[in-house]
Structure 1
């Protein structure tokens, strides 16, 4: 299911154990529909070491969706810049000269790059593990809440399709006995016609039995009571899972496949246009459900 969340956490210089401007840790997470879990992480250089822990957190709480996570560290540009010392600038210039002596085509440092390098020089490495996991959990909670709201809308849509399928099953149930009776009458009429044409000649006594046997075989061939019963059973199970909630996506996938199988069998046994129409209408509704169920976690 789809979802989006964006959270930020301000990190004061004192909290980082260093001088300089305040920094802000930001994280965005978005999810779009997918049958499987597909993670894509885009982390700034300072946060790359946190990728394993972040990936473990995501896989623990998410089961489906194409999930993209972007995490970054921003420096508050409005804060006052610390003036680099002459000794630090001299050292930076010496390093640049050494690099350009070997790489004469290298571009010279800009003022912004020099300020950034001086600000980071000698600073202790920041441990982002705790704030990163805290921020990721907040973002996950927000996104899961958004997905739950979408799940409620999907459940309402599926309940509507279930009601329509039940109505079609009720329409199909009385059609089969009517078709069987019509076919029995047709066989008996043919038998009587054969008897009239055979007046004055010996007609095998087994003729009527043969006609009744063919009518019985036809009734067995077009009987869809079993398919309708199984279809209704699958509908009951889908409704139960929707009310239960939780991680039901894969079970719903399987039940939708079984619904499609029963609707196909119903169509293949069809001996009347009304039954064929019901089978087609069922398959349309089931396909609409399949498209949405594949996205449910």
Structure 2
């Protein structure tokens, strides 16, 4: 039951739960739609776990590039596990209810992992810049302690950036008739639109987080590749240039896989008010599910060392 709460002696309504939705207009085939969703979740979990195991069990992969790849895989696992329970609950069992506080927690971790992924991609671009511009000092610059501090800074940045968001939502007066969200998981933009109150502070803080994380990171990644190209153009032979750029292909693809859906979600939420609900839902699913599915495929295809390590793991599993 959705109960109003008292707040400063004024009428204040905060729902005890929100109602989630699967794919609007396709409720009758949610059972069938759960098959591709289960397949994608399985691919994401299996692929990223294999990368983590491959890096851990292969001494030759104990290098900065692969440590950052492990961070990316951990982040993708977090993103996948954030949305998996509620999405499959809606598609399998039509269980749409999520407690208000549980929704806040899911929203916090979902956006935090997104910020972490953006930061890890930035760190990986720095890794490629150091490897190409100053290969002789690569190992001395990116030591294990430096990589550990970068990882801690990334997690701290995401946590601090997103920490105020649940409290900004908690203070809002919500509309009793607007408790149905637009997805099978909790987005900040989606939740705040259910309020019957001034959400200017939420909008401004959300914009600040986007600009200070994803937008800033994308600019710095672009700057890193500008410097990388400048360095590569100074190499003597075309073969050296191709070899240097080839080490960046996997990262460039991972950046595109992450940022293109992020831009799509931002545009839809800000300018797509009249777009069909199914468009909002599909863009959000692409943003949250496709990168964790594709990143292991990209790195296993483009990196011979990762591919061989993963195949060795699979052969050992098959023999056991």
- State whether TM-score is above 0.5: no
Return the structure number with greater strand share: 1
> Max radius of gyration: which structure?
1
Q: Which structure is richer in relative contact order (CA contacts within 8 A, separation 6 or more)?
A: 2
TM-score range, shorter chain: under 0.3
Return the structure number with greater helix share: 2
TM-score by length of 1: 0.28
